[in-house]
Structure 1
């Protein structure tokens, strides 16, 4: 059983959720999807480990499949059809608003996206929070927010989130309508000026920060000793930080934090999650999992408290080992970050 809980921000400030969210992408956006019943067990385990009245925060995407279709949402539809009592025990966030592989903040695109999401989800679960997956730089954020508020008032979803926004954009958006959560990448190798500014601004505004990839897409678990350990066709093989030269250059961070985790008696994954949680009471680490055992391990990381000495040791490791490689694939894709 998990003991710590957190309150969401914005218009969802009356909702209590687990201290660690559950990313569902790896259940379908992978060359060899896991067994569906295994995925269902993973979701159920996370819900069942929570105190009464606490919701599990689930995170999905309109395009979380190898064909960029709604496979992840269709899996969730089957889950809720089989376990309808879990609909009220989960808080579901879904990213969308992408057209022709680029963000589109128009009311037409956002409406089509939200309708497509709900159609794929089916009748047993309503979309709780909708996030444009990236910020459309061609459209003022105030216009995007007004479009989202229009859809919210039509009953399409209950709360508004943003993804990959910068601190200034969050402030402008929040002035139009309260933002419940901002989803950004935060981990030992993704904690620079942009992350720090967004985290600080979100805390000031009472906005939750969904910190995705807190385990560095599995890198900091120590499960991979080289890029060759990735499964054939794994999307991570395209990331610059998983290229041979960067992989080796960054491995000193893995070794350093693994030693701290071993001394503390926790797993490297749990140390990653505890460190992200330590960045503020509004922080919600968002690791992915398709196994019940991994879901529970991640949740337990949310209960772990770092001592000042442990935090300093981690910060010293990060300061001594500058990160090699881009967050994604290079400038052609990274242009959509920090909108």
Structure 2
């Protein structure tokens, strides 16, 4: 089973990037116990060595703000390493005394961009996303500032995350969007049903699928909520609690049955399914362990037949996921 790197064009006029990237959030935030920077650096370097050079972070991945960006920046200051990486980061969310808040004010956009450049120790950001839309600010104001940052050479390409069809169109009218980052997997297939995929294809916008393994759930590694470490925010997420957890295992079991027949892992099956949705799809699974990274990379050598894809689609359509994606405290911004 080959694991050659798969490349896909970013947006209508962007560069070729690795279709299987690396989401760095879990190295600094939200998924239980943290390890040393040295251990995290080994995982990042291993990902890049294996061709997962499309690296995703955000200024909110902490706390404190900028923690994950600085972790990656310690490696990016090496110009040879920087030359191999397509670095993506995001702005728009911040920590406050009352939880996670959102801002799309032009002055905040510029300030966060400058901070990201410093944190990442780079001269420019390859792909800069609006992490969540601030619906108290006309999106045109936010994107006019982003257009200026692009014209100044501080960012190369622009993206948006978890936006509506109308917001995508309005932002794209100001300056082209290259990528929509959105949660997508067999247990979050919403964009195939709500019109967002169609508008992205109309406008030439790539889909960057975050949590393509359902925050680890679809790997089959978790049998009960107690399997999550203390401090892991999945413990307070509706989809991972009580009866919802038990019901959602039906989807995991059905996917595992197909994977077993094919002689691959559930993670490999799931990632192969995500990437099989079209040449405009990029996936950014994350992990804190090299062994899981290697398992994910194995998906690059998986080819799903038409019958297998139809079987997975049938499962996704038949087994409905129970529970919201985010707990109540984050529901107003869908924070991550």
Both structures adopt the same fold (TM-score exceeding 0.5): yes
Could you list the per-position Cα deviations for residues 78-120 of structure 1 after superposition, in whole angstroms to 9, with x for gaps in the alignment?
2224x43110111111111224432211111101111111121
Q: What are the within-5 Å matches in structure 2 for residues 164-179 of structure 1?
A: 164-179=162-177
Say yes or no: does 1:84 pair with 2:88: no
CA distance in 1, matches of 2:330, 2:273: 28
Could you list the per-position Cα deviations for residues 294-317 of structure 1 after superposition, in whole angstroms to 9, with x for gaps in the alignment?
223223313422111111211222
Which residue is 1:93 aligned to?
Answer: 88
The Cα shift of 1:164 comes to 0.8
Which residue is 2:66 aligned to?
Answer: 70
Q: Is the 8 A contact 2:208 2:282 kept in 1?
A: yes
Say yes or no: does 1:109 pair with 2:139: no
Q: What are the within-5 Å matches in structure 2 for residues 320-331 of structure 1?
A: 320-330=318-328
Could you list the per-position Cα deviations for residues 67-88 of structure 1 after superposition, in whole angstroms to 9, with x for gaps in the alignment?
242111111122224x431101
CA distance in 1, matches of 2:195, 2:112: 30
Q: Is the 8 A contact 2:184 2:191 kept in 1?
A: no
Q: What are the within-5 Å matches in structure 2 for residues 40-55 of structure 1?
A: 40-50=41-51
Q: Which shows bigger deviation, 109-118 or 198-207?
A: 198-207
Could you list the per-position Cα deviations for residues 20-73 of structure 1 after superposition, in whole angstroms to 9, with x for gaps in the alignment?
1100011111442123333222222222233xxxx71000010211x2421111
C-alpha distance 302-195 of structure 1, shift in aligned 2 (>3 A): farther
C-alpha distance 193-153 of structure 1, shift in aligned 2 (>3 A): closer
The Cα shift of 1:318 comes to 2.0
Which residue is 1:284 aligned to?
Answer: 282
CA distance in 1, matches of 2:172, 2:232: 37
Which residue is 1:305 aligned to?
Answer: 303
CA distance in 1, matches of 2:184, 2:320: 15
Q: What are the within-5 Å matches in structure 2 for residues 117-266 of structure 1?
A: 117-122=116-121, 124=122, 126-192=124-190, 196-266=194-264
Could you list the per-position Cα deviations for residues 186-208 of structure 1 after superposition, in whole angstroms to 9, with x for gaps in the alignment?
01111125765222221222211
Say yes or no: does 1:333 pair with 2:334: no
Q: Is the 8 A contact 1:92 1:128 kept in 2?
A: yes
Scaled by the length of structure 1, what TM-score is found? Answer: 0.90
Which residue is 1:16 aligned to?
Answer: 16
C-alpha distance 96-152 of structure 1, shift in aligned 2 (>3 A): same
Q: Is the 8 A contact 1:6 1:18 kept in 2?
A: yes
Q: Is the 8 A contact 1:203 1:280 kept in 2?
A: no
Could you list the per-position Cα deviations for residues 194-249 of structure 1 after superposition, in whole angstroms to 9, with x for gaps in the alignment?
76522222122221111000111001111110000101111111111011111001
Structure 1: 4+ residue segments shifted above 3 A: 193-196
SS at match of 2:57: strand
Give the alignment partner of residue 57 of structure 1, picking from 54, 65, 68: 54
Scaled by the length of structure 2, what TM-score is found? Answer: 0.91
Q: CA RMSD, aligned part only? A: 2.0
C-alpha distance 10-178 of structure 1, shift in aligned 2 (>3 A): farther
Which residue is 1:36 aligned to?
Answer: 37
C-alpha distance 159-195 of structure 1, shift in aligned 2 (>3 A): farther
SS at match of 2:128: strand
CA distance in 1, matches of 2:305, 2:124: 40
CA distance in 1, matches of 2:201, 2:247: 33
C-alpha distance 72-193 of structure 1, shift in aligned 2 (>3 A): closer
CA distance in 2, matches of 1:196, 1:35: 41
What stretches of structure 1 of length at least 5 have no aligned partner?
none
